[in-house]
Structure 1
């Protein structure tokens, strides 16, 4: 189907405004389809031809002011609509299809009890698969929604829900919404209800997860209440919508979606086993992030998709700020460095890098491709630099003015900059061009002999970005000096810096968006200095800087393995330990090191895990992460993997943890120790959706020719598989110790995965394409196949983007192995 272009959107917005939407949905027609009736109240500014967006299974009727429209004219989701000046009502009746790929109106069956659950995910252009509409972000309207559902179901949406004796649910009329924010969740959901500051709060989940919901409700509600209080205090505008429901749904593609009054989150956040503090922090951050969207994105929405940063960058920044200032997660910025900024820096290294704002988005699908770590993490870092530039008081004043001026409407980069300029009295055009409108990340480096710090912009994206940051020095893990500075040119002196210290670290406080490049003396000192370093933020900056160093073939990946062995045994920050450990095992060892060196490096990480596990407080978050590291890396089948998988000799806190057991079963399956029969028995003991996914991963990992053939066929031809099931199969497929088992599928990947676009939505297929890229085959043959595939003109846009990015990582691996052959 064609993607709406910006020119088409501008033309349609000039011609039409929608004043009210009435949507009636009938979800009681079985598991495959549902009924959809829409009344669109609109006003035309003149006479002209335009179209309504509608993607039905069957279009039954359509009228304009009671007169039939030609339903045979519906082509590729567009129903022609001729209008004359004045007010009109368009009515459309259709049968729509439930999806299984996480887009539109998704329906999933819970294997624990056989119950079905429905949720909507209409971002970016999936709304027409649920109801007819004028689908673009700058055409907002109030919605009234009615839903017919099975008698035992609950219905949750943007407006407060009530039900009549006939079983029809009525959702109260909303404030003006963009189409992609309309939300509907339906099924036998269970809830925990509360109230705060006059706002009704609801937490919802599948019936089979009632215990987990109740267990985690107090923590999640505490974060919710704190976030409301904090955002009310700094935005100066009360929460602008109805009740505030957070619905944890199965098989959700993203982390969460900020539908006004009805936030949808993936239900894996309702942890069913042992959980680390960093995982609780991640969930708290997601809760606060989605609430920040009630103002940034929902109250004020982007006029077009090139300004998505006005949603995501601000929610990213505000959530971390809120956690640090209003909750006990004071380490949130450290977690941001390890998890979010590393993601953003990786996006900057890829050919698909783009500016934070003003990225070319000629159509909606192009904008979706830029929904990445730049829009989130870099945007948040740039906001921190803006605050350094104009001051926090001016920033908050500008925010309030921007939100007030555009409430229930749309905003643009120009609108935002105007508000900031008026609040601060500073001209921001040059600052915006450098920071928001130009791609690329600068590198900052201290020259000891010269006593200077330099800034190097990427050659492909030159810009004069002013940086406000700090430089700190360390000896024996103790800080010996710290200097704040503003670097406006390419170089500046650094008076007051202890340049004799073993370790000199630019951007030690991680206040700016820049890669710290360590001088040779500092790099050489890390084996001794990093294990002693008491500054957790500095440790995070070093790890992320090294991540960039190995990716660009400036740093030998063996150094990271050495540092993992030396420094992770003393690491007491969950985010650093878990993220650095995952990067070491999943990227550095698995891909960057030559194949022959990988077993020994994994064994070293297993010893780290064992040491930390032995020293950690039993049942602590640190012990949990250590046990997971052991499970991922150990070759001790009889002493660790088998007894742990059988529930024997488990570390404290992991007794009965079925998620941990599936990690172990996956490792045993990958080694050929267990097979399908053992996996089936484990699934019988864990008849849940998570158990089903664990079993799919374990089966795909079985190291036989027959099992790999079955898994590949299941992945690429089974049209009944959900989005999450496909990802689960992908997670197990490429992991055998004997790579010859999967080598035949390298070429098949480039042929068969793109064909899945015939039945799988773009968001879901993009994730499958990324998960399945044969990254372990670091050779010129894989690169040649990849380049040949990307030369095709028929690749789906999202798949192309994922392959381009994965190919760039393959090229990084080849460059690293060439630079550091061993």
Structure 2
């Protein structure tokens, strides 16, 4: 597959200055979409647009399987004029109409119009995911965020299917659907979701609501729908009060779709989510919190992103940072999950801090983003988590009232249009009466994060900016002290320079543990003082404030990655403190970091088994001490299933014998156990296949692939071939194979696949889209082989020009993490 050129910012600017799109009519023919042998669908598009320079030339974006006809202002154009995904439109009139009839191809990589088959019942499902530049694979368009237009969409589909989209859908004849005309939308927000959906419908405040998922998920969907609807209602009420602007896009549907690349996508009126959010088995509280936060996040986008859209991708943060901040705020203020900011610390900010440590770090705003594909690489923890933390600092700087007033004015002024960083800051300045030029330069336009430390003896709080990205970032934060399980002081501090003397800190009672940024109000790495670090393993569990505990855990993980903390300290702390933790976000996320990265990467191979045994013992303690069937017991059981090497415990669980309460029929838990057994070589392919036959669903087949990829020895060759050469694999199947491949202790076998990664994975760009391949390249990176030779292979690949932007970004970030582990091993042995 030949790679199409990516739209550049200069091309987008020139085209937007020339034309205005006044209407889009899209007709999709999905007839036969419920048949395995039907790989294509029909697409007919009529676009009306004006041109302010009659006689000028522009281009249309289109990437079809076949182009049947192309008519501009009544004149047939030669289909051969389609080159590299573009059609030249010459001699434009003041008023123009172009009609394109084409055959398109369903995708398997989660981009464009993706089709999946549910093996549980053989049913087919189709959904559109047009982010970031996939719209031309579904219909002809001018594909850039600032050429918004109203859409009229019609769909022909199999008669037993239901169609949902941006506008309210009405069945006008068997298999024929008309969607209500929309408000102006950017191309990447358009979606159609078609299939035999299971649906739950409701209404709130005059807004029709719908929640949809695969038919085989009907039972869990109906069981969990009320909680999701409750969050939806509460979020609508909260945003209506806060912004003073009603939801503007008619009906509101939330569709949980199979094999989705992201967590969710904010299509106006028809949000798509990954369907793993409809929990098949037991769900921990923090998982329900995550789903709740995601629902609130996508709803915030209805105003920030959908009503007002960034003009170009360099202002991505206007969408994502705002929705990230508002989701946490809404979750805390309007739902039962008042611990939402604790979850933000361990689930989101740790992700963002990791992104800041890599060579690919970038400013929150104002990045180059010279073309659309380059912009895709900045959808990371900086644009989300750092941007949200920056907004919290902005509120501390100008006040919440001014912030909300500025946001409301910005939304009203640019409704159904586009905005920029300069526009947004202008409204903030007018609302607050504050010049934000220097603040913006330090927080939004400069990469990097500061290191914050506090010395109680002197009462000095310090701020150290990274040498590579010097900036004068002001910080509003607090410092708290704890002794013998009690908070003995909490003082506020404002840093406007490298250091500040805080008399209240010096005069406060001496504390065993001193925690800077204890309320996690700012964006910074926290450096714990030596005496606090020494006291942490024994004292962390006694801290009464879950937010402060989350900050300490983040400081420990950052400290390991920065070479300041011995990873053994974190393992020791985990063994002592983790079983006593009562915040489920901390329990889940910290265990994930230890098992997913710190233990397999930072500790020498000969110490890994001992560290896993510490984790397993802590998990067993949590499981034994928790109420049977509780979500704490669930988390203990899951971590034990991942970390234990005790076949006497794991084998019966895999056989569904002696399971903890509530997990007797939990197939997802069973796959955790089977994958661990497979990595240790304690089960074979036949056993894995037998478990899959008991769970012949999408999730079950993914579990089988991950477990088979985890098997040692010759199984690795099969898994690698399936991952890198089988072009029929879906995006999720590729993720499953990559996620299991590097499991196990057979480093000698794994070492042989290091050079193959750098040859085979980049070549997959020939048939896997950038969004999907970036994820695969991260999961498949040989991070398990922590050796200088792996770093050398990375360096050689990065020095060449054979990597696509998505793969290059994945290799840069994974290589950075590998070098952190190598440095730690060199420092601490």
TM-score range, shorter chain: over 0.9
For the 8 Å contact 2:261–2:731, the answer to whether it is kept is yes
8 Å Cα contact 1:617-1:623 kept in structure 2: yes
The answer as to whether partners of 2:538 and 2:573 remain within 8 angstroms in 1 is no
Q: For residue 346 of structure 1, give the secondary structure of its aligned residue in structure 2.
A: helix
Q: Of 595, 601, 604, which residue of structure 1 is paired with 2:614? A: 604
Equivalent residue pairs, number: 819
1:107 to 86, 100, 115: 115
In structure 2, which of residues 51, 65, 70 is the aligned counterpart of residue 44 of structure 1?
51
Deviation at 1:499, TM superposition (A): 6.5
For the residues of structure 1 that align with 2:404 and 2:523, how far apart are their CA atoms? Answer: 21
- State the 1:163 CA deviation: 1.1
**Is 293-302 or 496-505 further displaced after alignment?**
496-505
Q: Residues 536-685 of structure 1 correspond to what in structure 2 (within 5 A)?
A: 536-638=546-648, 640-685=649-694
Q: State the match for 2:25 in structure 1.
A: 22
Q: Is 1:777 aligned to 2:785, yes or no?
A: yes
How many Å apart are 1:626 and its aligned residue? Answer: 0.4
| Deviation at residue 675 of structure 1 after TM alignment | 1.2
1:218-257 map, 5 Å: 218-257=226-265
Checking the alignment, whether the CA contact within 8 Å between 1:230 and 1:326 is kept in structure 2 is yes
1:65 is aligned to: 73
Corresponding residue of 1:534: 544
Deviation at 1:533, TM superposition (A): 0.8
* Aligned match of 1:740: 748
Distance in 1, Cα, partners of 2:672 & 2:91: 59
Gap regions ≥5 residues in structure 2: none
Tell me which residue corresponds to 1:82.
90
The unaligned stretches of length 5 or more in structure 1 are none
| Residue 166 of structure 1, CA deviation | 4.6
**Is this contact kept in 2: 1:102–1:251, CA < 8 A?**
yes
Pick aligned residue for 2:717 from 706, 709, 719? 709
TM-score (normalised: structure 1): 0.99
Cα distance in 2 for residues equivalent to 1:757 and 1:730 = 16
Q: Partner of 1:419 in structure 2?
A: 427
Q: TM-score, normalised by structure 2?
A: 0.98
> How far apart, CA to CA, are the structure 1 residues paired with 2:695 and 2:789?
41
- Output one character per residue of 1:587-625: Cα deviation in whole Å (capped at 9) or x when no partner: 111100011100011001110011111101111111100
Aligned residue in 2 for 1:521: 531
**Alignment equivalent of 2:386, drawn from 374, 378, 398:** 378
8 Å contact from structure 2 (residues 537, 574) kept in 1: no
**Secondary structure of 1:118's match?**
strand
Corresponding position: 1:279 with 2:300: no
- Contact 1:451 1:499 (8 Å CA) reproduced: no
The C-alpha deviation readout for 1:476-509, integer Å capped at 9, x for no partner, is 1211111112111111111112362111111000
- Measure the CA separation in 2 of the matches of 1:614 and 1:447: 40
Q: Distance in 2 between matches of 1:482 and 1:531?
A: 18
Q: Distance in 2 between matches of 1:511 and 1:461?
A: 21
Offset at residue 29 of structure 1 (A): 4.0
Q: Once the 2 structures are TM-superposed, how far is the Cα of residue 678 of structure 1 from its aligned partner?
A: 1.3
Q: Deviation digits for residues 549-608 of structure 1, max 9, x if unmatched?
A: 100101100000010001001101001111111111111111000111000110011100
Please say if residues 701 and 732 of structure 1, whose CA atoms lie closer than 8 Å, have aligned partners that are also in contact: yes
What's 2:140 paired with?
132
Aligned-pair distance for 1:811? 0.7
Task: Please give the per-residue CA displacement for 1:23-58, whole angstroms capped at 9, x wherever unaligned.
Answer: 010000453000000000000010322100000000
The answer to whether the Cα contact below 8 Å between 1:591 and 1:776 also exists between their aligned partners in 2 is yes
- Once the two structures are superposed, residues 190-223 of structure 1 have per-residue CA deviations (whole angstroms, 9 ceiling, x without a partner) of 1000000000000001111100110110110000
Report if the CA contact (8 A) 1:434-1:465 is conserved. yes
SS in 2 for 1:600: helix
Q: Partner residue of 1:428?
A: 436
2:509 & 2:71 partners in 1: Cα distance? 76
Secondary structure in 2 matching 1:800: helix
Compute the displacement of 1:179 (Å).
0.2
Q: Aligned ranges for residues 452-531 of structure 1 at < 5 Å?
A: 452-497=460-505, 498=508, 500-531=510-541
1:65-110 deviations in Å (ceiling 9; x for gaps)? 1101222121110011114341000000100000000000000000
Alignment of 1:202-217 (within 5 A): 202-217=210-225
- SS of the equivalent of 1:19 reads strand
CA shift in 2, pair 1:723/1:422, >3 Å: same
The more displaced of 523-532 and 621-630 is 523-532
Q: Secondary structure at the match of 1:753?
A: helix
Cα distance in 1, alignment partners of residues 751 and 538 from structure 2? 41
Q: Hey, what does 1:122 align to over in structure 2?
A: 130
Give the 3-state SS of the residue equivalent to 1:193 in structure 2.
strand
Distance in 1 between residues matched to 2:750 and 2:516, nearest whole Å: 44
> Could you tell which deviates more after superposition, 95-104 or 695-704?
695-704
2:6 pairs, out of 3, 6, 10, with 3
| Match status 1:693 vs 2:696 | no
Answer yes or no: is the 8 Å Cα contact 1:606–1:630 preserved in 2. yes
**In the aligned structure 2, how far is the partner of 1:708 from the partner of 1:517?**
41
- In structure 2, how many angstroms separate the alpha carbons of the residues matched to 1:470 and 1:167? 60
Asked if structure 2 preserves the Cα contact closer than 8 Å seen for 1:34 and 1:95, the reply is yes
Rounded to whole Å, the distance in 2 between the matches of 1:405 and 1:151 is 43
CA contact (8 A) 2:160 2:175 kept: no
Give how far 1:673 is off: 1.9
Distance in 1, Cα, partners of 2:78 & 2:291: 48
Secondary structure of the residue aligned to 2:786 is: coil
Q: Deviations over 1:113-165 (max 9, x none)?
A: 11100000000000000000000000000000000001101000000001112
Residue of structure 1 in register with 2:365 after alignment: 357
- The separation in 2 between residues aligned to 1:738 and 1:651, in whole angstroms, is 31
Return 159-168 or 125-134, whichever deviates more: 159-168
Q: Which has the larger displacement, 61-70 or 238-247?
A: 61-70
Written as runs of structure 1 = structure 2, the 5 A alignment for 1:337-352 is 337-352=345-360
Map of 1:13 onto structure 2: 16
Q: Secondary structure at the match of 1:41?
A: strand
Give the aligned partner of residue 786 of structure 1. Answer: 794
Taking the aligned partners of 1:61 and 1:174, their CA distance within structure 2 comes to: 26
